[in-house]
Amino acid sequence: MAITLDRMADLVGGTVVGDGLRSITGAAPFEEAGRDEITFAVRPQFLKRIDQTSAGAVIVPRDVQAPGVNLLQVSNPEAAFARVMALLYRPAKPEAGIHAAAVVGDDFVCGRDVSIAPLCVIQNNVTLGDRVTLHPHVVLGDNVVVGDDTTIYPNVVVLERCRIGRRVTIQAGSVIGSDGFGFAPEGEHYIKIPQTGIVRIDDDVEIGAGNTIDRATFGKTWIQQGVKTDNLVHVAHNVTVGEHTVLVAQVGISGSVTIGRHAILAGQAGLSGHLQLGDNVIVGPQAGVSKSVASGSVVSGSPEMPHRLWLRVQRIIPRLPELKKKIEEVARRLDRIEGQNEPNR
């Protein structure tokens, strides 16, 4: 697909400096982009070499100038580049229709232009909105509802009564609505607590590959609008993840945690149960969070602590053997001094 720079500028709210009629057919990294491709430059190491690029155009911050280079000046180059890539590389949409090898239960309600691939299983009373795409081996349980323009990739399972919003993407192999981990101890045994709730996923959410999102014991596990999860994320029962929060790979969230809006949980962060994380919280990689975190806080480490304190701690840890020797030497000196000051008996 070919798009002129002027057209791109209209679509991303940018300003062209140079040849607005230059036709762009692809996007590429800074060092590899060719004359018909666009790239972007934000970091100083790229901006200072911008005149060396072979790209047909470069997306840059609004204040950047580079004579002889076609520029697309925008407020947020990274976001603009993502939008341009979406224009240039539109994925092929499967042909609409229900494949003969799909299994569809009773009372199925289907919107317009739906694509259901071979070997999908749709159980009873399922409702799909318009332009929903189900890739092979998707399973939708009884009474599941899926909103318009949602895409569900192969081997995803959405179990009974769960609700999926509009423009949601669920990557391959994820399980939505598995039982929450609830067991009551009775002597040396455990009695399973029935998990009677659902999972609700709101609009514009993307769920990564291999996620497991447990249904609630009562009520709902709730993934709110705009949330993005990486691969291999686990969300336990009765968790609420606030709007536009990001969960990076291998994050684990225990039951009944509430996370606010615009939070970021870095890779392998783990949260204990029944915590409250406020809005705009950042949790560092491999952090173990054992108590609630106030809005706007940045925490790291296990157990968690303010990020700046954690940085100081990390600088000290490699010196601990040396500090131990010094402390032992100080202790020996004190013992000698105290021995010298004891009265003669």
The DSSP 8-state label assigned to residue 242 in this structure reads: -
From CA 274, how far away is CA 290, in angstroms rounded?
10
Integer angstrom CA distances of residue 11 from 3, 19, 55, 85: 11, 17, 20, 12
Catalytic residue among 99, 234, 237, 262: 237
Residue 137 annotated among the catalytic residues of the structure: no
From CA 50, how far away is CA 59, in angstroms rounded?
10
Residues 10-36 as b or e (16 or more Cβ within 10 Å = b) = eebebebbbebebebeebeebeebeee
From CA 115, how far away is CA 138, in angstroms rounded?
12
Strand partners, 164: 146, 201
What sign for the dihedral angle of Cα 16, 22, 25, 26? negative
From CA 233, how far away is CA 210, in angstroms rounded?
7
Strand order in the sheet with 220-223: 109-110, 127-128, 145-146, 163-164, 198-201, 220-223, 240-241, 258-259, 276-277
User: SS3 for 311?
Assistant: helix
User: SS3 for 344?
Assistant: coil
Strand order in the sheet with 264-265: 97-98, 115-116, 133-134, 151-152, 169-170, 206-207, 228-229, 246-247, 264-265, 282-283, 298-300, 305-306
Q: Which residues are catalytic?
A: 237
